[in-house]
Amino acid sequence: MEQIALISDIHGNIPALEATLKDIKRRGIQRIFCLGDLVGKGPDSAEAVDICRAECEATVLGNWDEFIVTQHDHPTAQWHRERLGVQRLDELARLPHTIDFWLSGQQVRLFHASQIGIYHRVYMTDSLETQSAMFENTPFTGDTLTPTMVGYGDIHWAYVHCFEHRILFNVGSVGNPLDLTQASYAILEGVYGGQSEDVFSIQLMRVPYDIELAIQQAQAADMPDLEAYASELRTSRYRGLPPVIT
């Protein structure tokens, strides 16, 4: 049996990322996948990209990653672009859409937001029809497999929903959680690559971190949209940071 850590939505929050990785490592977990949104919102996008490059076996593209790469004229995007530099921006632009693999007989697909794309949002309160569609193969996902287990990030709200012999789960957000004021990640456990039925599990983990330090780092960097960012970290309530995506 192997444990796989799934992190997402780091958003340049290094105190939260470091606390999360510390917890992952003390559990002896070697394989880490990242479900996107390494950058934006928080002050240290460049360091987040560098850490994830070193620590994560695979990373998918998130909406903020794409936004920062492509929006040359947006002032918030430009601030982050300047700190990232050309090499990291190129690296973000090349990120894949999905991570597909077998786990204890389950076909697992991971992506940032949905089967439609990185800007199409699905909440835990959406209809059963909308949630069921997350398992479909689309031009965005490709057809490497037909998933029975789908994990994603994007909404910053962790949950697990079992239905119709399938499992849909959200890993929450490391750097900008909007359900609890603690970093969130998930652990999958099972036979990695195993196509025969075996034991598997999903755990949702919460990690306390120094929120005030994260805000101080944003202040020291003279980061745009600081007030809304600080409020979200302290309250886990969405304040509508531009662009209108989380």
Based on its alpha-carbon atoms, the radius of gyration of the chain, rounded to whole angstroms, reads 17
Q: Supply the angle between the helices 211-220 and 14-26 in degrees, to the nearest 10.
A: 140
List, for residues 11-68, the tens digit of each pLDDT value. Answer: 999 999 999 999 999 999 999 999 999 999 999 999 999 999 999 999 999 999 999 9
Percent of the chain with pLDDT over 90: 94
Q: How many CB atoms lie within 10 A of CB 61?
A: 24
pLDDT tops 80 at residue 183: yes
List, for residues 150-179, the tens digit of each pLDDT value. Answer: 999 999 999 999 988 999 999 999 999 999
pLDDT band at 240 (very low <50, low <70, confident <90, very high): low
All domains of the chain in start order, with CATH: 2-231 (3.60.21.10)
Mean of the per-residue pLDDT values for the chain? 95
CA angle 82, 66, 111 (to 5 degrees): 135
List, for residues 87-102, the tens digit of each pLDDT value. Answer: 999 999 999 999 999 9
Query: CA-to-CA distance for 209 and 131, rounded, in angstroms?
Result: 31
| pTM more than 0.85 | yes
